[in-house]
Amino acid sequence: MLKIGVFVCWCGSNIAATVDVKQVVEAVKLQQGVVFATDYQYMCSEAGQLIMRNAIEEYKLDGVVICSCSPRMHEATFRKNAERAGLNPFMVEIANIREHCSWIHKDVEEGTIKAIALANAAIAKVKLNAPLISGESGVTKRALVIGGGIAGIQTALDIAEAGFQVDIVEKSPTIGGNMAKLDKTFPTLDCSACILTPKMVDAAANPNIELLTYSEVEKVSGFVGNFKATIRKKARYINTDLCTGCGDCMSKCPSKKGKNEFNCGLNNRPAIYIPFAQAIPNVAVIDPVQCIKITKDKCGLCQTVCSAKAIDYKQQDEIIEREYGAIVAATGYKPIKLDKFDEYGYSQSKDVITSLELERLMNAAGPTGGKLVKPSDGSHPHTITFIQCVGSRDISGRGKCYCSKICCMYTAKHAMLIRDKYPDVNVNVFYIDVRTPGKNYDEFYRRAVEEYNVNYIKGQVGKVYESDGHLVLQASDLLNNEQILVNSDMVVLATAIEADESAKKVASMLTASIDTNNFLTEAHAKLRPVESPTAGIFLSGVCQGPKDIPETVSQASACAAKVIGLLSKAKLVTNPCVAHSDELLCNGCSNCANVCPYGAIGYETKLINDHGIRENRRVAVVNPALCQGCGACTVACPSGAMDLFGFSNSQIMAEVEAICKK
């Protein structure tokens, strides 16, 4: 006869306010096999864990049921505790009476009935538990970082610094991401290039970092510590070992009509180009859609002028397969498209621009050499008006429901920089709320108002139209309860940001979860903010949610710390709750192998002794090192041969029976 102990946690008032814990204790004592039951305010505390250990020793318990929060929260805690008291950790079951009961119910009587039912189910299950022994798996000492913006660069640098190999896979021809496009950065106004490009150089020079630019991850398989990735290195049509980055090809290329991506399309670039002067790697790339040699087999000028003989029109994509212990998503963001916001006239007037475009117009390395001019005619603007929250905090379906977080600060920065460089220019800012929490942030915004006389107007802009050669904004001035018309030479839209379009694809490849806005979800919003719920997958930068540069860099380093922690381990403890096949029942149909997401199931032809009948049969065999215990095979198996240790069919049926029994 098994001896079961039950421990009911109050979780302070989280459980005890909605569930009568004393009544639960009395009810479970009536269950067959329960020799001890008690309740305690915080079972997870040291005092609570001591109660559990003492009971295991005193009553010689064979199984333990904890009625508490979700097993995702504290299953590991209680298993470890059982081990300390000499009980196999897999003889512990959790009845989730917080998330599944007290948090979602208001009525104490009904909550208590449900808590008792959940406790009884766990008791029924634990009676069928068997002691399990965890196995071990190795860790590949190499990390993959997907995305080469400031987040990916920082994470890679920190991991490399700890002595581990890192590959950065970046889809565009250079690393640097959005930050490379910025002019100056808040709140200290140091220039983005001055603080970013040295990091880019460090990443390129670090012997532990390999840059795979103009490349994309196509497929990922495996599991924590043992991932396999397939990476496509797109053809650059340039031999990167030979190219010196001299730029002779760029000046000779006759096809100069490509939109310059780095300058947000504000000017054009040739078909063969280096994205910008500080690009890493500083080698050219050919746009195969634009190049007339590749599309029409004419021209070939760049090849004749290239003294390094680096140009290869026949270059093909290259497929690389690598193994990794950990993978970091750092896919970043982009500004949203403004085609649903016609009222601002972005598509009608060249002088209506986005904030990122303004960064390029003010940047010394930008299309105007840093001289702020009206894009329409190159003249000097006298009034510039900013509109905040363009597409942010928008639930109408045109924009994004969230606050993009960075716009209040960069708009204050833009306003201040313009007033500083061109004191004759009047600057207006239309705002809904100014949100500037952060060290020295609100002071920064107030400086724009108090020292630089930027005119902040509370209210949104209804429409922007052209009249007599300038732009007119019809807007609310809410504090004066007026509708006002403001003349302006340029309008700058603080455009909402969204997750990069690659995020969704990367998330599904990594089996990492994403939210409705395509931001990757963290394992715990507060306590595990840089890990994905999928083991071995980590999150760095804006792919997890909007954040500015200081926050991105902190998170990137935190992410690196977690990766280093994982890669430092000699062995990983594997989950013993894996699938196994009953060879006598298996009919070799392959259903299980077809549904297995981890490729853990193979087939062998074996001599089977089926009640005296000896024959060769094709049967399923599970590789326990690969199996992650998801249970898909147990559901797909038509003959009931597949079963899961720790979650066997009989255990689940016992739980169902216990819940249904009155």
Partner 1 sequence: MKKDMELANEVIRISGANPIRCMKCGKCSASCPSFNEMEYAPHKFVDMVVHGRIEELMESKSIFHCLSCFACVERCPRGVEPAKIVEAIRVVKQRQIGENYLDANDIPAIVDEQIPQQALVSAFRKFKK
CB of 474 or CB of 587, closer to partner 1: 474
Q: In 3-state terms, what secondary structure has residue 117?
A: helix
Task: Report, in Å, the least distance between residue 542 CB and partner 1.
Answer: 22
Backbone angles phi, psi at 188, to 5 degrees: -100, -5
Task: Give the dihedral sign, CA 178/179/184/186.
Answer: positive
CA distance 587 to 155: 48
CB of 63 or CB of 459, closer to partner 1: 459
Per residue, what are the HEC states of 17-63? CCCCHHHHHHHHHCCCCEEEEEEECCCCCHHHHHHHHHHHHHHCCCE
Task: Give the dihedral sign, CA 400/406/409/415.
Answer: negative
Task: Report, in Å, the least distance between residue 546 CB and partner 1.
Answer: 17
Helix or strand holding residue 631 (H, E): none
- Going by the DSSP 8-state scheme, the letter that residue 343 receives in this structure is G
Task: Report, in Å, the least distance between residue 345 CB and partner 1.
Answer: 13
Task: Report, in Å, the least distance between residue 498 CB and partner 1.
Answer: 15
Neighbours of 565 (CB within 10 A): 11
CB of 463 or CB of 524, closer to partner 1: 463
Residue with tokens 């009249």: 467
CB of 343 or CB of 501, closer to partner 1: 343
What Å distances lie between residue 500 and 337, 504, 518, 592, CA to CA? 12, 8, 8, 35
The one-letter code for the residue type at 189 is L
CB of 80 or CB of 398, closer to partner 1: 398
CA distance 29 to 37: 6
CA distance 78 to 92: 7
CB of 188 or CB of 480, closer to partner 1: 480
CA distance 406 to 392: 11
Task: Report, in Å, the least distance between residue 166 CB and partner 1.
Answer: 41
Cβ(451)–Cβ(408) below 8 Å: no
Residue numbers of the site for partner 1 (CB under 8 A)?
A: 343, 389, 393-399, 432, 458-463, 474-476, 478, 481, 483
CB of 4 or CB of 496, closer to partner 1: 496
CA distance 600 to 602: 7
Task: Report, in Å, the least distance between residue 466 CB and partner 1.
Answer: 17
CB of 60 or CB of 340, closer to partner 1: 340
| Helix-strand-coil split of the chain, %, nearest 5 | 30, 25, 45
What Å distances lie between residue 383 and 359, 363, 454, CA to CA? 17, 19, 11
CB of 36 or CB of 431, closer to partner 1: 431
CB of 156 or CB of 457, closer to partner 1: 457
CB of 461 or CB of 572, closer to partner 1: 461
CB of 193 or CB of 390, closer to partner 1: 390
CB of 40 or CB of 431, closer to partner 1: 431
> With b meaning 16 or more CB within 10 Å and e meaning fewer, what string describes 14-33?
bbbebbbbebbbebbeebee
CB of 27 or CB of 475, closer to partner 1: 475
Task: Report, in Å, the least distance between residue 21 CB and partner 1.
Answer: 38
Beta bridge partners of 193: none
Task: Report, in Å, the least distance between residue 340 CB and partner 1.
Answer: 11
Q: In 3-state terms, what secondary structure has residue 198?
A: helix
Task: Report, in Å, the least distance between residue 491 CB and partner 1.
Answer: 14
Per residue, what are the HEC states of 547-611? CCHHHHHHHHHHHHHHHHHHHCCCEEECCCCCEEECCCCCCCCCHHHHHCCCCCEEEEEEEEEEC
CA distance 87 to 56: 8
Residue with tokens 């038509």: 638
Task: Report, in Å, the least distance between residue 388 CB and partner 1.
Answer: 10
Task: Report, in Å, the least distance between residue 463 CB and partner 1.
Answer: 6
CB of 249 or CB of 389, closer to partner 1: 389
Half-sphere exposure of 591 (CA within 13 A, CB side): 16
- Going by the DSSP 8-state scheme, the letter that residue 380 receives in this structure is P
Task: Report, in Å, the least distance between residue 467 CB and partner 1.
Answer: 16
Task: Report, in Å, the least distance between residue 199 CB and partner 1.
Answer: 37
CB of 477 or CB of 583, closer to partner 1: 477
Task: Report, in Å, the least distance between residue 392 CB and partner 1.
Answer: 8
Task: Report, in Å, the least distance between residue 118 CB and partner 1.
Answer: 36
Task: Report, in Å, the least distance between residue 436 CB and partner 1.
Answer: 18
Backbone angles phi, psi at 563, to 5 degrees: -65, -45
Cβ(614)–Cβ(607) below 8 Å: yes
- DSSP characters over 412-481: HHHHHHHHHH-TTSEEEEEES-----STTHHHHHHHHHHTT--EEEES-EEEEEEETTEEEEEEEEGGGT
